[in-house]
Structure 1
């Protein structure tokens, strides 16, 4: 597997590599090669004459040097090249070089190549792209442009006046380069089967979550849902949302129709059915990605974790015993608490709430973010159709001040919010006021007006990361949109207004402090909330300390939770260390944990985990546990295997009077015009690689992503609206295949499936010592295959390197325009043994049949050498 048209190993066997020879040749004339590559076209010497006597040829007229008279230093053809604009790389692509009437060479500026250049499109001449055609000459389209091709580096250098080149912020990508992708059907799946037996009682359940989609042009259809089944007869499919979306690049926004969620950066997140138009910061350079909180907890056994927001299941998985972290939630907005349920294998459950509140977010001066929503509230517990009309806007007024506001309206409710964020030397503050009013149905005189005041603060100062500190006070009559609708629904069904809790004060804090030298880090978090119409308060606090000594990491934490059932304190000590040689990437990890709570329960746990396989595709963990209060000892085994087409997992845990088993699979299936391609990864934006014949090649930076037998692979986790480098590694592919290029760039829309095609050429490499009329074929002659494609150039001594697809055929050698300056080489390859890996370079000597192509092969069939080289091509 090689990258270029000329095989480096083959060239090492003979002194006929063309490019260095041409450079040496040009250095003997009045204009050297370096000048030809660096001087602007108008400064190049014209009609330079070169003497063929330096080549020491018997027939000096056999070589046509006129093509080099005006600065050309490479023969016409297609070359995989790096493209640079004003010194900045814009990508690698195939560049076709053609010859002008004066025999100078110019690169074909195709529409695809020009779209890679960050033009100021409003400054280009009228109908610029219409004049490009199949092969445009940039120096004719833009006379001020300077185009130079460096044949040594296979690099196309384009110099443009700043008038035509965008001076956007570093990392920005013009919307002209965004790719909406190809038509495709997408199915992301997450399957989890769970079985447990506790005290003789068996429980079986199955969860299947899907993220399905259909892309047609720039329109993307999406459906997210889950199917839950258990042996007690519960069988239910829940639709999370279904919608259609389309990007509007001119507005840096996205239009959506269907079921979705409001963004939640001003008001809390609300699920709705309707239409939405909202800006997307990812369309801007260096923008921040969507926010979702991390969920942390402790599982005593192989446990099933379920995450709900607004009563809907948005995530479910099975975790091994010990501390767990869920940090891969799809962003669902900045507000709306998450309810987390941990279902243990022995049947016990624990539940807790993760606050999901807005954080301070300022904008640059002149920047604007907005969201407009119209539709109905979507809530499984409210039976009426509740209209929801919402608009929010944030605008950067100055470098330090951002103003924001919003309006929510329904048939029985309105809320008006206004506020500002202020950046100061001691941190960033935001303050806003919300005025709301709710009307009870059927009564004109009864209403519930109120106000809510919110103050937030965030700062990183002297190694202290105070990520968010927020306080909200609400008057007795204030209700947010969801609380108001829940209250109206309760009154409709005969309950009182006070049956739904109304928040009074809410305070949350998260802070961490790095200590001096190697003393580690301490952190603290907490939240407190009380109510107008309910006694008591909800409180939770946590403090902790982390550090490491050598390769050993350790930490201690303490937490307190207040709930209806009382107060519970928890304490946790953790320690982890690698085992084995430090120079091995397969070292297993030993983790130990000791926990204790205020109920007197104490548990110890040790886990051994690691990975295996050439690409770490196999992972495993084994856990041993012991708990007092009659629980006793228990254990768990978990394994995961990232297969080429799916991700498989299995788990087992067992203890006194219980055991559980689980099986899972997740991945993505994409149907496209070339067939069906599978991936072990779940993602929302993919690149579909097409590299026919390159089965086994890998995609650098994406473990487990291989070109399949059909010539396709799915690359996940692309950064939308930004340039993504996708590089193929030919290692693992057949040696019979040569790749025209191995690196390309794409900037996909969010949710797109972008096709990235890599040119490949299959066949056997041959090295021919060719003669015509007893003399070597002319130096620099072009070599064409049966379809007229350029496959090589004659080097010194008439040596020709080419890759041929058929076992027998003919190559045409051409060094002029008339038939007397062409000849034909006929070949018949030697058979290759069945045990030989790939097709190895075959070398032979052949007489090139001069004149008409109708000559018969006869005795001119190649005189093949019985030896083939030991190197693959």
Structure 2
């Protein structure tokens, strides 16, 4: 209901009385002209007086914005504010719709949020604030889809290229010379049109054997907020937990975990409770605080704890009376473990593509397949399901991941496949995988313990080749095993065929990784073993590494590796010991790294290097090394970040060869708002910022704006970000209309924001009368009648004007006037200018 124009003025007057008198029960209205009724704003028991206000909006005590607010007589009578969804969104008040579904007034089209238990709207008439108190469990994530920004239309090319050139100074000891130019480049191009993005990821290489262009991604895609996923059309890769991934072209719909807040990615238990009063909840692991939050009274749910490692979570709840409740939650994690209620899915239809060559991006010949996978985080476990259907290949998998509390976490999965071949043969088999993780103490855990078994006939769709008649996993096969019709000659040959085909195929694999942390040291180790069907030897591998920091930042590290191949008669082993020593030279922190290593092939080697970051644009490195075969080398490199490109150049010298190399990276962005921009920023998601025709301004640590006032800031998709201008770089005469923007960009979006300003002419004057006496008061106006300021008691007049004035007139309280010419005044001078007003 609309109010009259007199109401706001009356409300403001009443507010001043209200704030000074408090909750008066009887008000003498004789001072109010035209009314004898006490205004509702002064009545006792009126929670929301009808009227129009301009309030600072708060959410659980944090300011979200400033908004005009109209309180209707219906709101006053019911004691409930009813606010439209548009008003709430513009005010920055977001909440989950389901808990507040019953508070929506369908007739008026607004939410009366105060009707919900544990929810309050506190309106402070004196301070002109409206504070929403909403339980944390009923608030959405900060990157909720309602806040997403898909950006503007534009074209972007991100590039990264390198080259090296060998110059032989003499004949090679191995009789091989390669002085050709070798080059490599990666190019990521995208065309943004509304919510759709046409993108490609291509690589090009050149060497002595020729040139090649490849791609593993060529898609048209869009984000779909309702399913927290993406629709992709074109050439891309599958993503499943149970099967080996492969390239294909077709259509896919798959979940995108980045659409959830970064705190909720990865596994962490969901912890719930009820707060009797305003309480602080603190979560720690291994003695470190990883989460802290203050929640209002009512139910709370912690589903945004950062993904955790193995070890107990200690949850402390402290209410406003100082009472603490401490609870421990044992946690062990596995890659397949999801939070309760979380899910991952992938649905794809198309044809498998086995080559990355650009000209063959949409070629196959293997027929159409359909893939579906779904990973579901249940309250106490995670379920994994997947299937692949093809007219000549079928596979299905089922997995289960179970947290075991103090006993760790366990997962098991079973896959089955059936594959048919051009020669009429058929293979079928199963694959079973078991994984286990356990934290023994806060400092020691088994990160992953894995066993995988594959039967002889099990075939991954990624490796299935229907024309594999005589190749048998890529190896040649003698035609004598079959007759002229392709049939087995007899059972003896059938046995020999199957034995030969299955020899060398993987049978079982064991893996184990363990970590141990101390105060300032870290120790890790791993072991794996691979067995094969047939008479192949087993393959083994092991690694061990340790690192620590001593004294004033000196780092020491030790590593060792050992492996045995199934096809080699000799083991391979290597080890290294290194130390990195920091030192300061010329006020710059440098690092000196020295390493001694040993390997079976090269024997003992020594390397030393020194590096430093001299500025935010420049860094360098020099190095030298030798080994027991008298292979000595020395080199140097320098990197410099220009505004438009990132560069690196290096030179190295060995006994026989001088090598020159370099690297270039950056991106080009073209939009209708800014034209062509070249920048060294190469993030997938960016913000193009503009402060018109104002160079040298920075935002969030960006490079300065160019001559047109444009610059680029890197962003992270679906990550809430506040883009703020650095006021120190803004010219003195610029009055900013806005200083920051809150954005939630979608992936690969080009966000555009313009920071408006007005060029203000600033003058600091000390005004005297015709006799030289300081004026102690008076208002100033320009020749156009515009207000120019007020003279203070010490005669100082501060004027902020959009244009240089010609004449200033001073009007004093005693009715006298004087004026002075302003054409000779200097704007934006920080010193006080003396002036006579006559």
Alignment of 1:99-114 (within 5 A): 114=90
Residue number in structure 1 paired with 2:342: 367
Number of matched pairs: 677
Residue number in structure 1 paired with 2:132: 160
Residue number in structure 1 paired with 2:195: 218
Does residue 471 of the first structure (1) align with residue 471 of the second (2)?
Answer: no
Does residue 193 of the first structure (1) align with residue 163 of the second (2)?
Answer: yes
Helix, strand or coil for the counterpart of 1:588? strand
Helix, strand or coil for the counterpart of 2:372? strand
Q: Select which of 204, 211, 217 maps to 2:181.
A: 204
CA separation of 1:100 and 1:447: change in aligned 2, threshold 3 A:
closer
Residues 381 and 401, structure 2, Cα contact 8 Å, conserved in 1: yes
Helix, strand or coil for the counterpart of 2:589? coil
What TM-score, normalized by structure 2, do the two folds share?
0.70
Residue number in structure 2 paired with 1:296: none
CA separation of 1:110 and 1:168: change in aligned 2, threshold 3 A:
closer
The more displaced of 730-739 and 769-778 is 769-778
For the aligned residues, what is the CA RMSD? 4.7
Does residue 728 of the first structure (1) align with residue 707 of the second (2)?
Answer: no
Residues 771 and 777, structure 1, Cα contact 8 Å, conserved in 2: no
Residue number in structure 1 paired with 2:574: 570
Residue number in structure 1 paired with 2:530: 529
The more displaced of 476-485 and 278-287 is 278-287
Does residue 252 of the first structure (1) align with residue 264 of the second (2)?
Answer: no
Instruction: Determine the C-alpha separation between the residues in 1 that align with 2:557 and 2:110.
Output: 66
Residue number in structure 2 paired with 1:759: 756
Residues 436 and 450, structure 2, Cα contact 8 Å, conserved in 1: yes
Helix, strand or coil for the counterpart of 1:731? helix
Helix, strand or coil for the counterpart of 1:481? coil
Q: Select which of 115, 121, 144 maps to 1:174.
A: 144
Residues 527 and 541, structure 1, Cα contact 8 Å, conserved in 2: yes
Does residue 688 of the first structure (1) align with residue 658 of the second (2)?
Answer: no
Instruction: Determine the C-alpha separation between the residues in 2 that align with 1:375 and 1:814.
Output: 82
Shift of 1:495: 4.5
Unpaired segments ≥5 residues, structure 1: 1-28, 51-67, 71-78, 102-106, 133-137, 292-357, 833-837, 848-862, 864-873
Q: Select which of 578, 600, 610 maps to 1:608.
A: 610
What TM-score, normalized by structure 1, do the two folds share?
0.68
Higher relative contact order (CA 8 A, sep 6+): 1
Shift of 1:145: 5.7
Shift of 1:528: 2.3
CA separation of 1:505 and 1:659: change in aligned 2, threshold 3 A:
same
Does residue 273 of the first structure (1) align with residue 273 of the second (2)?
Answer: no
Q: Select which of 25, 32, 35 maps to 2:19.
A: 35
Instruction: Determine the C-alpha separation between the residues in 2 that align with 1:756 and 1:46.
Output: 53
Instruction: Determine the C-alpha separation between the residues in 2 that align with 1:828 and 1:98.
Output: 45
The more displaced of 796-805 and 183-192 is 796-805
Instruction: Determine the C-alpha separation between the residues in 2 that align with 1:244 and 1:185.
Output: 14
Helix, strand or coil for the counterpart of 2:643? coil
Shift of 1:805: 4.4
Residue number in structure 2 paired with 1:712: 710
Q: Select which of 491, 501, 505 maps to 1:502.
A: 505
Shift of 1:587: 0.8
Helix, strand or coil for the counterpart of 2:258? helix
Instruction: Determine the C-alpha separation between the residues in 2 that align with 1:255 and 1:280.
Output: 10
Residue number in structure 1 paired with 2:426: 447
Instruction: Describe the superposition over 1:712-731 as per-residue Cα deviations: whole angstroms up to 9, x where unpaired.
Output: 22111x23323212222233
CA separation of 1:98 and 1:507: change in aligned 2, threshold 3 A:
closer
Residue number in structure 1 paired with 2:629: 629
Residue number in structure 2 paired with 1:746: 743
Instruction: Determine the C-alpha separation between the residues in 2 that align with 1:289 and 1:597.
Output: 40
Instruction: Determine the C-alpha separation between the residues in 2 that align with 1:127 and 1:215.
Output: 38
Unpaired segments ≥5 residues, structure 2: 1-12, 33-40, 44-53, 73-82, 115-119, 268-332, 357-362, 478-497
Instruction: Describe the superposition over 1:517-538 as per-residue Cα deviations: whole angstroms up to 9, x where unpaired.
Output: 55x2221123322322572244
Residue number in structure 1 paired with 2:38: none
CA separation of 1:170 and 1:116: change in aligned 2, threshold 3 A:
closer
Residues 169 and 285, structure 1, Cα contact 8 Å, conserved in 2: no
Does residue 85 of the first structure (1) align with residue 59 of the second (2)?
Answer: yes
Shift of 1:485: 2.8
Instruction: Determine the C-alpha separation between the residues in 2 that align with 1:203 and 1:724.
Output: 47
CA separation of 1:810 and 1:411: change in aligned 2, threshold 3 A:
farther
CA separation of 1:687 and 1:630: change in aligned 2, threshold 3 A:
same
Residues 171 and 722, structure 1, Cα contact 8 Å, conserved in 2: no
Residue number in structure 2 paired with 1:830: 825
CA separation of 1:283 and 1:645: change in aligned 2, threshold 3 A:
same
Instruction: Describe the superposition over 1:715-765 as per-residue Cα deviations: whole angstroms up to 9, x where unpaired.
Output: 11x233232122222334433333344333211111112223323232431
CA separation of 1:150 and 1:713: change in aligned 2, threshold 3 A:
farther
The more displaced of 212-221 and 198-207 is 198-207
Residue number in structure 2 paired with 1:868: none
Instruction: Determine the C-alpha separation between the residues in 2 that align with 1:448 and 1:109.
Output: 60
CA separation of 1:279 and 1:109: change in aligned 2, threshold 3 A:
closer
